[in-house]
Amino acid sequence: MITLEILLLGLALAIDAAVVTFAIGLLQVHHSKPERLKRGLLVTAAFGIFQFLMLWAGSFAGYLFTFSSYGYLFQFVVATIFFLIAFKFVQESLNEEDRELEWGLMPIILLGFATSIDALVSGVSFGTLPHPYMAALTVGIVTFLVCGLFYLISQFFQKIPDKWLLRFAGLIFIILGVEIVLAIFYKRA
C-alpha cells in the first residue's frame, strides 16, 4: 500500500541521488541527444534500483531488530536514524565545496550504492510491514522519476542550488522522525 509517508520518504531519499544525477547530466553536454538519453536512463535506473534494493535489505534488518528482546526500543532507534540522516543532509548543504563526478559504469554503480546507504538505514523502519518490498519498490520508482526529472532539468539549466534540495530532504527526515516520536508517545498515553 502506498502511503503519504512512503512517498515522502521516497522523495527525501531521492533528493541525494537527484542532485548527483543533475551533476552527471551537466557533464553530458558534449554528447549527442541519443547518447545523453541513453546515459540518463542508465543513471536514473541504477539509482532507482539501488534505492529499492537497499531499502528492501534494510527492512530485513528491521524485522530482526523488531522481534528481538530489544524491540521496544526500535521506534526510538528509527527516529534517531531519521534525525541523523536529516543532520547529514543539512551538514552537506552547508558544505561549500564543488562536487566533481567522473563518468563511467563503475562510478555510477558506486554512486548508486553511496546515495542509497540512507535507504538501507531507512529500510530498518519497514521491518514490521507485511510486504516491505512494495514500499521499497515505491521508493525505487519515486527515485527513478525524480532522478529522471533532474537529469532532464540539467539539460536546460546550468545551476540549481543543491544545498536547498539537501535542506529540503533533511526537513522531510525531521518531519518523519518527529512523527515517529509523537506516535510513540501517543500510543503510550
Q: Quick check: 26 pLDDT over 80? A: no
Burial of residue 159, with CB atoms counted within 10 A of its CB: 0-12 exposed, 13-18 middle, 19 or more buried: exposed
Q: Which range is most confident: 70-74, 98-102, 148-152?
A: 148-152
Dihedral sign from CA coordinates of 119, 50, 88, 93: negative
Average pLDDT score over residue span 93-101: 61
Which of 7, 12, 28 shows the shortest CA–CA distance to 151? Answer: 28
* Average confidence score pLDDT of the chain: 78
pLDDT tens for 4-22 read: 888 898 898 898 788 878 8
Q: Cα–Cα distance between 128 and 113 in angstroms, integer?
A: 24
pLDDT tens for 132-172 read: 888 889 999 999 999 999 999 888 765 556 676 567 667 76
Distance of CA 136 to the CA centre of its chain: 11
Place of cell 528509527: 78
Q: Which of the four pLDDT bands, split at 50, 70 and 90, describes residue 126?
A: confident
Q: Cα–Cα distance between 189 and 182 in angstroms, integer?
A: 10
Residue 29 confidence (pLDDT): 66
Evaluate whether 17 touches 147 at the Cβ level (below 8 Å). yes
Residue 102 confidence (pLDDT): 47
Burial of residue 44, with CB atoms counted within 10 A of its CB: 0-12 exposed, 13-18 middle, 19 or more buried: buried
Residue 118 confidence (pLDDT): 80
Question: CA angle 153-173-21, nearest 5°?
Answer: 25
Q: Which of the four pLDDT bands, split at 50, 70 and 90, describes residue 100?
A: very low
Query: Could you tell me the pTM of the whole model?
Result: 0.67
Q: Quick check: 103 pLDDT over 70? A: no
Dihedral sign from CA coordinates of 165, 84, 68, 73: negative
